[in-house]
Amino acid sequence: MTVDPRRLVPRTDTVLADPRLVAAAGRLGNDIVRGAVRQAQQLARSGGIAPEVVADAAVRALPESGTALSMVLNATGVVLHTNLGRAPLSPAATDAMTTAAGYVDVEFDLDSGRRAARGTRALDALRAAVPDAEAALLVTNGAAALVLATTALAAGGEVLVSRGEMVEIGAGFRLADLITSTGVRIREVGSTNRTALRDYEQAIRPDTAAIVKIHPSNFRVTGFTSAVTVAELARLPVPVIADVGSGLLRPDPLLPDEPDVRSALRSGATVVTCSGDKLLGGPQAGVALGAATAVEAMRSHPLARAFRLDKISLAAFEATLRGPVPPAHRYLHADPDQLRRRCENIAAESGFDVVPSDGAVGGGSAPGLSLPGWAIAVPVALARPLRLGRPPVVGRVERDRLLLDPRCVPEEADPLLRKALATAAGARDG
Ligand SMILES: *Cc1c(COP(=O)(O)O)cnc(C)c1O
């Protein structure tokens, strides 16, 4: 007499008593563990695994933490991949987030026992990194910094924006709509390809409260073009708000066309705004730096409370600035010869080709700039199995091949990449 193997699938309570799953329930909560057990039982009922290994399968299916987000190996070669969370944080920033997770003196003075200004350590780090600014403010993201700057400086009035800088930053969001959403009016000046200082000069009226200079970071107009620099605009009798976007704090020779915060301030911008999680390499945040009166007007505006940065991001931001060079910066400046050697190592067993590969800055920064490097070229059919592996590997499809570029993969994860490649190739061949 044969027993239906499905009858041998252990009961939920029996599996849940496995010490590893008891420990996991304490760490992750009952629901997640029960979900993993149900999934493993289902697999056993359908004959996918033997009934004896249901507990093992459940343990393997558990997420590393209470989030269903997956850590991903970014083998796209795109450093600031918005769909993959932009800048990866440094270990220093990650540790700081853990410190800030509990009760912390984010708004409290331990010496006097009284309330203190919020996030002063992060602001101190920011001012130390950009000494040219009189004052600094941190908000939730770059868009918030820009809308707060324009509202605080130009409420009820109008701002001048070049027609060449009416940028859409992605998913249908246009910076012009953002600025006008709080009632500030925009007076467009110049043309799509050319705007002159004279255009701004002639557009100034009594209710012109500021000039907004937006870095068109994600597209490029070439040919018969001209734009007005911050230095030229600063000579006009209205404040200049410069949205430099990417958060490069100082010039970087690798990115000659990317504006930086320090240069914009030295050129006379009243307020400079940017993101924290692009080239700055930190957590999602919005930065405003500049003249004390302007930054104070932003800080005391009611909207500032709606854009308040959380304690975890404040801690990560501070640690990014004070700590070692953040990963995004290292990936940007990766040595091509080293990338090639890593590719050859990773591809050694599987025998796939190692080919030249152009990485990119991404995140809407430095369009058209390619970062010379190398990649492993594999059939496009491997893309899905690689994405669904553990950890998921995301590559870049180019000319009918899937390229796996190690630029943005931490070097210590190379063995994981090699294993993922072998698993995906094996599943296809087997
Ligand atoms: C990215 C970007 C923004 C938006 O910043 P977020 O941090 O994504 O809100 C605004 N302006 C420019 C020029 C940008 O490049």
Residue-averaged pLDDT of the chain: 95
* Atom 13, ligand 1: residue with shortest CA distance: 245
Q: What is the pLDDT of residue 134?
A: 98
Helices 19-28 & 30-45, crossing angle to 10 degrees?
Answer: 140
Answer yes or no: is pLDDT of 423 > 70: yes
Q: What separation in Å is there between the alpha carbon of 207 and the centre of ligand 1? A: 27
- Split at pLDDT 50, 70, 90, the class of 145 is very high
Q: Quick one: pLDDT at residue 220?
A: 82
Give the C-alpha separation, 12 to 340, whole Å. 50
Contacts of 343 (CB under 8 A, 6+ apart): 354, 374, 375, 376, 406
Compute the average pLDDT of residues 194-205: 97
The residue nearest atom 7 of ligand 1, judged by CA position, is 142
Q: Which atom of ligand 1 lies nearest, measured to the CA of 216?
A: 13
Taking Cα atoms as reference points, which of 195, 206, 128 lies closest to residue 163? Answer: 195
CA of 260 to the centre of ligand 1 (A): 14
Asked if the model's pLDDT at residue 61 lies above 80, the reply is yes
Please say whether the beta carbons of 256 and 287 come within 8 A.
no
- Of the residues 275, 287, 317, which should be mutated to test ligand 1's pocket, given the most ligand atoms within 8 Å of the CB? 275
Q: What pLDDT is attached to residue 2?
A: 62
Cα-to-centroid distance, 175 and ligand 1 (Å): 9
pLDDT band of residue 400 (cuts 50, 70, 90) is very high
Q: Look at ligand 1, atom 8, and give the residue with the nearest C-alpha.
A: 142
- Report whether pLDDT(187) > 90: yes
Positive or negative CA dihedral for 209, 215, 219, 221?
A: positive
Q: What are the DSSP E strand ranges found in 57-178?
A: 73-74, 78-80, 108-109, 114-115, 135-139, 158-162, 168-170, 173-174
CB 420 within 8 A of CB 71: no
At residue 171, the pLDDT reads: 79
Ligand 1 centroid from CA 121, angstroms: 24
Q: How far apart are CA 273 and CA 178, in angstroms?
A: 14
Backbone angles phi, psi at 363, to 5 degrees: 60, 25
Please report how the helices 120-129 and 311-322 are oriented relative to each other, as an axis angle in degrees rounded to 10.
30
Between the CA of 292 and the centroid of ligand 1 the distance, in Å, is: 23
Distance 275 CA to ligand 1 centre (A): 6
Q: What is the pLDDT of residue 3?
A: 65
Asked whether residue 397 carries a pLDDT value surpassing 60, the answer given is yes
Helix axes 336-347, 414-429, angle to 10 degrees: 40
Task: Give the position, in ligand 1's atom list, of the atom nearest the Cα of 276.
Answer: 7
| Beta carbons within 8 Å of 13's beta carbon, 6+ residues apart | none
- What CA–CA distance (Å, rounded) separates 130 from 133? 6
The total of other beta-carbon atoms located within 10 Å of residue 184's CB is: 22
- Cα distance between residue 410 and residue 415, in whole Å: 10
Whole-number pLDDT of residue 219: 81
pLDDT tens string 280-338: 999 999 999 999 999 999 999 999 999 999 999 999 999 999 999 999 999 999 999 99
Measured by CA distance, the residue closest to atom 15 of ligand 1 is 245
Q: How remote is the CA of residue 286 from the centroid of ligand 1, in Å?
A: 9
Q: Name the closest-CA residue to atom 11, ligand 1.
A: 245
Distance of CA 258 from the midpoint of ligand 1 (Å): 13
Judge whether residue 198 has pLDDT over 70. Answer: yes
pLDDT of residue 223: 87
DSSP string over 236-268: SSS-EEEEEES---S--TT-TTS--HHHHHHTT
Tell me which of 65-74, 165-174, 187-196 is least confident: 165-174
Which of 139, 169, 273, 361 has most ligand 1 atoms within 8 Å of its beta carbon, as the pocket-test mutant? 169
What pLDDT does residue 430 have? 58
Q: Whose CA is nearest to atom 2 of ligand 1?
A: 245
Which residues have CB under 6 Å of ligand 1? 141-143, 146, 169, 175, 214-215, 217, 243, 245-246, 275, 286, 364
**Minimum-distance ligand 1 atom for the alpha carbon of 286:** 7
- Does residue 1 surpass a pLDDT of 60? no
- How far is C-alpha 315 from the chain's CA centre? 16
37 CB-near residues (< 8 Å, 6+ apart): 12, 15, 16, 21, 54, 55, 58
Ligand 1 probe mutation, 217, 279, 284, 313, most atoms within 8 A of CB: 217
Ligand 1 pocket test: pick from 140, 178, 274 the residue with the most ligand atoms within 8 Å of its Cβ: 274
Residue nearest to ligand 1 atom 12, measured at CA: 245
For residue 364, the ligand 1 atom closest to its alpha carbon is 15
Ligand 1 atom closest to Cα of 144?
9
